[in-house]
């Protein structure tokens, strides 16, 4: 179910971040009478359990603490959280002594996917008011630009090939408020300024506070931070493929070697040359995202997303020009009106790229060279659609993760270390 406008919904705040200690401090600062805090801990996955901690403070200020081991449902973390976490949150919603809920997520979880699940299954009971993300100043940027997997970092087990970079970037992009801790461990003023440059370009609409190791994160500071949130930040709303890529009006000028650029093209990518060009997004780039028009997939909207040295491309729908019924959401219709061409309709490519060692000029040149040439374009749509393509199709079990959008099950992924489709 989608959220309603009912005022009876219980406010819910998500707390996220790679640093477990920072998340704990944020959560502690939100403890108050009428608050219930739910924490998820995936560190016991190898024993087949997820630990859920519920800390309630009633109106009289009396603490109630419970710790439960929730057994994995057929070995699936997502199904376990879906079947145990959502009912627990709804139970707290029905408790008249609870006026707000704080959900502290394990570092391996992406808040957007949790929010999607809560909105779809408990939207009439819970209102996600904001997401607060904790950042360790000394380690975040290294994690967000690397190739270390969650399993290698000890945050997950088994065949989970997601990287710290993918999780770190996803957590920041979905944040309404960001707490940077340990500013004096960043390595110096320039390194801290560079971290700020990255964060304010990933989440330009979010409120932000920076603390050194001697400063305390308390309720007053956190309240001030949350008051600085803007209406343009997500506030629990999952992204859609046709949302503005530069939502929140991030700065485009270079700062401390960090620069945000956009790439726009009104002709398709050549599939093989795009495959070769993707390396430019895996070296010296913090993150990229955007819509792709690939010659061999003329009707498909493909969504590209990278973080550090990992990249994925997913099918997210069809161009409006390829839909006989013309059915599309308002964001898609608005974008179609902006990009419409009499011959190709709304087909286009639009990508934002956040560079920190690479340059916008190098990225732009590599992507431009991957577009079809005038000679190829002149041979017509049948020739373009028949071009050999390395972008195969593969199945992604819905149990592997919560869905972010109405994507189908096709995906292409690569990383800089292996350089292969899998």
Among candidate residues 295, 297, 255, 279, the one with its CA nearest the CA of residue 416 = 279
- Quick one: pLDDT at residue 1? 44
Q: CATH number, domain at 95?
A: 3.40.50
Let me know whether 18 and 153 are in one domain.
Answer: yes
Among candidate residues 79, 49, 196, 93, the one with its CA nearest the CA of residue 135 = 196
Q: Which residue among 227, 250, 268 closes a domain?
A: 227
Let me know whether 276 and 221 are in one domain.
Answer: no
Let me know whether 172 and 286 are in one domain.
Answer: no
- Whether 241 maps to a domain, the answer reads no
- Quick one: pLDDT at residue 393? 42
- Cα separation, 327 vs 333, in Å, equals 9
pLDDT < 50 regions, the chain: 1-3, 5, 393-412, 414-422
Let me know whether 389 and 303 are in one domain.
Answer: yes
For 278-320, the pLDDT digits (tens) are: 999 999 999 999 999 999 999 999 999 999 999 999 999 999 9
- Quick one: pLDDT at residue 77? 83
- Quick one: pLDDT at residue 413? 53
Q: How many domains is the chain partitioned into structurally?
A: 2
Domain limits for position 214: 10-227
Q: What angle do CA 60, 179, 245 make, to 5 degrees?
A: 120
Let me know whether 73 and 208 are in one domain.
Answer: yes
Measured in degrees and rounded to the nearest 5, phi and psi for residue 29 equal: -65, -15
Let me know whether 31 and 150 are in one domain.
Answer: yes
Q: CATH number, domain at 287?
A: 3.30.1220.10
Q: How many residues does the chain have?
A: 422
- Quick one: pLDDT at residue 407? 33
User: pTM of the predicted model, to two decimals?
Assistant: 0.91
For 102-139, the pLDDT digits (tens) are: 999 999 999 999 999 999 999 999 999 999 999 999 99
- Cα separation, 218 vs 220, in Å, equals 6
- Quick one: pLDDT at residue 411? 47
Let me know whether 218 and 350 are in one domain.
Answer: no
Let me know whether 110 and 152 are in one domain.
Answer: yes
Let me know whether 277 and 216 are in one domain.
Answer: no
Let me know whether 193 and 316 are in one domain.
Answer: no
- Quick one: pLDDT at residue 391? 80
Let me know whether 209 and 305 are in one domain.
Answer: no
Q: What is the mean pLDDT of the chain?
A: 90
């Amino acid at each position: 179910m989608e959220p309603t406008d009912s005022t009876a919904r219980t406010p819910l705040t998500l707390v996220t971040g790679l640093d477990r200690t920072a998340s704990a401090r944020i959560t502690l600062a939100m403890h108050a009478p009428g608050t219930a805090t739910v924490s998820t801990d995936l560190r016991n996955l190898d024993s087949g359990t997820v630990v859920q901690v519920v800390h309630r403070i009633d109106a009289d200020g009396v603490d109630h603490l419970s710790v439960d081991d929730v057994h994995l449902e057929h070995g699936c973390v997502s199904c376990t959280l879906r079947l145990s976490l959502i009912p627990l949150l709804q139970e707290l919603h029905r408790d008249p002594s609870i006026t707000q809920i704080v959900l502290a997520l394990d570092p391996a979880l992406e808040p957007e996917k949790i929010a999607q699940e809560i909105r779809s299954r408990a939207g009439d009971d819970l209102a996600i008011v904001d997401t607060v993300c904790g950042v360790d100043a000394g380690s975040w940027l290294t994690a967000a630009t690397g190739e270390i997997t969650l399993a290698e970092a000890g945050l997950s087990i088994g065949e989970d090939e997601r990287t710290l970079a993918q999780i770190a970037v996803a957590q920041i992009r979905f944040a309404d408020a960001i707490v940077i801790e340990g500013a004096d461990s960043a390595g110096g003023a320039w390194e801290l300024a560079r971290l700020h440059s990255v964060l304010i370009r990933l989440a330009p609409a979010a409120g932000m506070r920076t603390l050194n190791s001697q400063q305390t994160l308390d309720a007053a500071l956190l309240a001030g931070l949350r008051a600085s949130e803007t209406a343009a930040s997500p506030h629990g709303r999952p992204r859609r493929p046709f949302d503005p890529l530069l939502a929140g009006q991030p700065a485009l000028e270079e700062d401390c070697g960090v620069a945000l650029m956009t790439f726009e093209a009104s002709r398709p990518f050549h599939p093989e040359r795009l495959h070769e060009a993707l390396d430019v997004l895996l070296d010296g780039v913090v993150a990229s995202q955007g819509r792709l028009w690939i010659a061999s997939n003329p009707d498909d909207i493909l969504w590209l997303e990278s973080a550090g040295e990992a990249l994925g491309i997913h099918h997210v729908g069809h161009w409006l020009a390829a839909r006989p019924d013309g059915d599309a959401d308002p964001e898609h219709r608005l974008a179609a009106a902006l990009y419409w061409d009499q011959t190709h309709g709304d087909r286009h490519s639009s990508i934002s790229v956040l560079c920190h060692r690479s340059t916008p000029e190098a990225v732009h040149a590599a992507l431009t060279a991957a577009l079809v040439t005038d000679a190829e374009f002149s041979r017509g749509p049948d020739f373009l659609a028949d071009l050999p393509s390395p972008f195969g199709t593969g199945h992604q079990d819905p149990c592997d993760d919560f869905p972010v959008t109405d994507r189908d099950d096709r995906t292409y992924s690569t990383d800089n270390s292996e350089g292969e489709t899998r």
